[in-house]
Amino acid sequence: MDKDRFPGFDLRGRTALVTGAGQGLGKWIALGLAHAGTDVFVVDLNGTNAEATAGEIRGFGRRSSFKAVDVGDAESVSRMIETVSNEFGGLDIIVNNAGVNVHKKAIDMTPEDFDFIVRVNLKGVYFCCQAAAKLMIPKRKGTIINIASASAFLVRAGVPNSVYAMTKAGIVMLTKALAEEWSAENIRVNAVAPGYFATPLVADRLADPDVYARIVGSTPLKRVGKEYDIVGAVVFLASDAASFITGQTLCVDGGRTIL
């Protein structure tokens, strides 16, 4: 097959780093990238969870190691990237998935709550992007994928989400700004905006029949996302099949953001 005519989705021979990869979306993404051929450096605040994910990846026959990292601490992020460089010899793909939320109404949000969310969701993503680019620029090649949210584009009536939504909207614009700045270095920067997915963090809500009915009722495809839904989007954006795509946010939400 003519490789110049047909796009390639094969990621063999590449190295990826995924933050927040101890459970949920981050774990699925890390495993999906490994299945597509990458060696994966697993990062999570919970070292035990990170170690478990790395073990599963090695079960695929890929190289994997892990590190417990607070991505809101820029110095820890720098050390993380140094470790990746030393252990894997470089970095081709980073997925900035780590994120937090505080479920409070805007009137009740404290400065401490605000700082906690912004520190991880915006500062963490920003300096992870910066640190990764320092490895990618000398090689003039790399792919950065930021995890935003459908909350960057819409609100849900009766669900207070002001600070979280603000940070996820910020990721969308950060993705555009970095894509433009680093395009000259042949680094692509894109984002994925998930809707509702069946992760451990929302398992209790999805178990409530009324809540589940409201969620699928506002989703045109009438279901929540599954593991392969997020994996497919990330593997595509990481692959050469997406080589002419940068600065974009792909909504993987069953159609929620079109309503």
Instruction: Tell me the pLDDT tens digit for each residue of 49-60.
Output: 999 999 999 999
For 77-103, the pLDDT digits (tens) are 999 999 999 999 999 999 999 999 999
pLDDT > 70 fraction of the chain, expressed in percent and rounded = 99
Chain centroid to CA 72: how far? Answer: 15
Cα(200)–Cα(142) distance, integer angstroms: 31
For the segment 161-173, the average pLDDT, to the nearest whole number, is 97
pLDDT at residue 142 in the model: 98
Distance in angstroms (rounded) separating the CA atoms of residues 143 and 129: 10
pTM, full prediction? 0.97
Query: What are 67's strand-pairing partners?
Result: 43
pLDDT value of residue 98: 98
According to DSSP H, which parts of the chain are helical?
24-35, 47-59, 74-88, 111-118, 125-136, 162-182, 203-206, 209-217, 227-238
pLDDT for res 6: 87
Mean pLDDT of the chain: 96
Query: What's the confidence (pLDDT) of residue 2?
Result: 61
Mean pLDDT (whole number) for 160-177? 97
- Residue 105, pLDDT score: 97
| pLDDT of 1 over the 70 cut | no
CA distance linking residue 183 with residue 136, whole number of Å: 12
Give the burial class of 135: count Cβ atoms within 10 A of its Cβ; 0-12 exposed, 13-18 middle, 19 or more buried.
buried
Q: Are 88 and 41 in contact (CB under 8 A)?
A: yes
> Could you confirm whether 164 is annotated as catalytic?
yes
Q: What does the pLDDT average to over 176-192?
A: 98
H or E element in which residue 103 lies:
none
Q: What angle do CA 41, 180, 34 make, to 5 degrees?
A: 20
Question: Residue 225: which of 256, 249, 246 has the closest Cα?
Answer: 256
CA dist 240 → 11, 136, 187, 198, 234 (Å): 8, 16, 12, 29, 12
Fold classified for 15-198+225-253 = Rossmann fold (3.40.50)
Please report the pLDDT score of residue 91 as a whole number. Answer: 98
Spell out the domain ranges in the chain. Answer: 15-198+225-253
User: How far apart are the C-alpha atoms of 201 and 18, rounded to whole Å?
Assistant: 18
Type of residue found at 238: A
Q: Closest Cα to residue 119, out of 176, 70, 46?
A: 70
How confident is the model over 113-132, as a mean pLDDT?
98
Return the H-helix or E-strand segment holding 249. Answer: strand 249-252
Residue 95 is predicted with a pLDDT of: 99
Phi, psi of 192 (to 5 degrees): -120, 135
Residue range 59-78: mean pLDDT, rounded: 98
Among residues 164, 196, 212, 228, which one is catalytic? 164
Q: Tell me the two tokens of residue 236.
A: 């595509």
Measured CA distances, 81 to 88, 133, 239 (Å): 10, 10, 21
Kindly tell me if the per-residue pLDDT of 3 is higher than 80: no
Share of the chain above pLDDT 90, in %: 93
How does pLDDT run across 197-225, given as a tens digit for each residue?
999 878 888 999 999 999 999 999 999 99
Q: How far is CA 8 from CA 1, 37, 144, 205, in A?
A: 11, 12, 18, 38
How does 249-259 read in b/e, with b if 16+ C-beta sit within 10 Å? bbbbbbebbee
